[in-house]
Amino acid sequence: MAQDAEKNSETNALSSSQNSTGNANSSNLSATPDKTKRHRPKRTLRYFAIGLVAIAAMIFAGREVMSRMTHVYEYDARITTDHITVGSRVEGLLVALNVESGDTVEAGTLLAQVDNKVQALELDALKASLAGVQAERAEYAARTDMVTRQTNSRVQTRATEVQAQQARRSALAAELKLAKQEFDRFQSLFNRRVISRSRLDRAEAEVSRLESELRRADADIASSRGEAAEAEADKGELSVIESELAILDHKEAELMARMARHEALIAQRSIRAPIPGIIDRVFVENGEFVGPGRRVLMLHNPENVWVEANIKETQVRRLSVGQIVHITVDAYPDDNFMGKVEKIGTAATSRFALLPTPNPSGNFTKVTQRIPVKIAFTKQPKRLSPGMMVEVEIDVRN
């Protein structure tokens, strides 16, 4: 009886479990179509999104391939310019430093001043010597003028006297001729006993007097001519004065040359800007002692900047001068910069490395070399600083 009870209980338990399992299966079968209906739109959206991503990837890949075929890219390019280092040509104490880093200057602006007191004093001494030479020159010029006027006046006076005395001699000669004729006539009358002896003597005395006056006139003429010659000889002093003036000319030329030299030395102590630009760095402080060749500051012209891009040697064959370049500056990503290829380098950058790379061991690893390419700006909306990083996109279709 007990065994039959146990069998009946096991049979009831088994039947109950089968009934519960069958109910669960029936409930699952009834719920499956509803879940499938709910997940079907999600799967459609997923496949649609995957398709869109695939299409976008294909479009992007196609554009990338096309751009790589029509453009050359370089992401390690920089803004470059010609930096000018301004130094001192002389030694001395720096007494003035008028600029700081970042200042904008014009060409010829006084940047720094080296002490020039000694040279200025020497220049003042030379100017004083030159003033003395010029005063001496003025004195000689006045003396020349005075001697010229005096000698000309004396020569003119003596020439006038000679002319007057020659006129007087001509008159005396005429009177003497007339007196001799009178004497001859009186001599004839005296011989005929017409006139007395005293009358003949007076005629003879008149002839003697006129002859004496004529001789005196000749002597005066000779004396005046001698004085005129002496006056002409006084003009020889002008030659002496001219030689003194020539010596003064040499002295003045020497002083002028020495003054020009000292002015050049003073100008060398004034350090001025060779170009208009921006001060990049100052290497000295006011009051320092500088020597020849000592760097004082560095500057560059902000209007003269360009891009230097080191292009792979495998892509250089696609480049040519004049190609259009789109430039992206990291500092101004929203601005559009345009340029063009201006120059293609003739040697790889490795040829200018400070440390050569010999290969004594025989081991060799081939490395793609870089060729520098200069890109000039055609559109520069903002001022750029040397060293800025840029990316270039060179259009090689033309």
DSSP result, 357-377: ---SS--------EEEEEEEE
Domain limits for position 278? 85-115+269-298
In the numeric block, which tokens belong to residue 296?
């004082």
Q: How far is CA 8 from CA 5, 12, 22, 294, in A?
A: 5, 6, 21, 117
Whole-number Å distance between alpha carbons of 346 and 285: 41
- Per residue in 247-279, pLDDT (tens digit) is 888 999 999 999 999 999 999 999 999 999 999
Percent share of the chain, pLDDT over 70: 83
Question: Is residue 246 one of the residues assigned to a domain?
Answer: yes
| Count of the separate structural domains present in the chain | 3
Q: What length is written for the chain? A: 398
Q: Is the pLDDT of residue 2 over 70?
A: no
**Residue 279 and residue 320 in one domain:** no
Task: Give the amino acid at 266.
Answer: I
DSSP 4-55: HHHHHHHHHHHHHHHHHHHHHHHHHHHHHHHHHHHHHHHHHHHHHHHHHHHH
**Residue 154 and residue 246 in one domain:** yes
Assign residue 94 the CATH number of its domain. Answer: 2.40.50.100
pLDDT in the model for residue 109: 94
- Per residue in 123-156, pLDDT (tens digit) is 999 999 999 988 988 888 888 777 777 777 777 7
**Residue 229 and residue 129 in one domain:** yes
- How far, rounded to the nearest angstrom, does the alpha carbon of residue 184 sit from its chain's CA centroid? 103
**Residue 106 and residue 177 in one domain:** no
Residue 271's contacts (CB-CB under 8 Å, 6 or more residues apart) are 86, 88, 110, 111, 112, 113, 114, 296
Question: Is residue 294 one of the residues assigned to a domain?
Answer: yes
**Residue 122 and residue 256 in one domain:** yes
- Per residue in 98-112, pLDDT (tens digit) is 999 999 999 999 999
362: left (phi over 0), alpha (psi -120 to 50) or beta: left
Q: How much is the pTM?
A: 0.59
Assign residue 391 the CATH number of its domain. Answer: 2.40.30.170
pLDDT in the model for residue 38: 54
Task: Give the amino acid at 125.
Answer: A
- Bridge partners for 271 per DSSP: 112
Which of 64-68, 119-123, 219-223, 393-397 has the least mean pLDDT? Answer: 64-68
Question: Is residue 229 one of the residues assigned to a domain?
Answer: yes
Q: How far is CA 197 from CA 177, 181, 206, 243, in A?
A: 21, 17, 14, 71
pLDDT in the model for residue 23: 45
Residue 118's contacts (CB-CB under 8 Å, 6 or more residues apart) are none
- Per residue in 163-181, pLDDT (tens digit) is 777 777 777 777 778 877 7
**Residue 256 and residue 327 in one domain:** no
Write a three-state SS string for 296-343: EEEEECCCCEEEEEEEECCCHHHCCCCCEEEEEECCEEEEEEEEEEEE
- Per residue in 316-330, pLDDT (tens digit) is 999 999 999 999 999
Residue 242's contacts (CB-CB under 8 Å, 6 or more residues apart) are 144
**CB-based contact 394:72 (threshold 8 Å):** yes
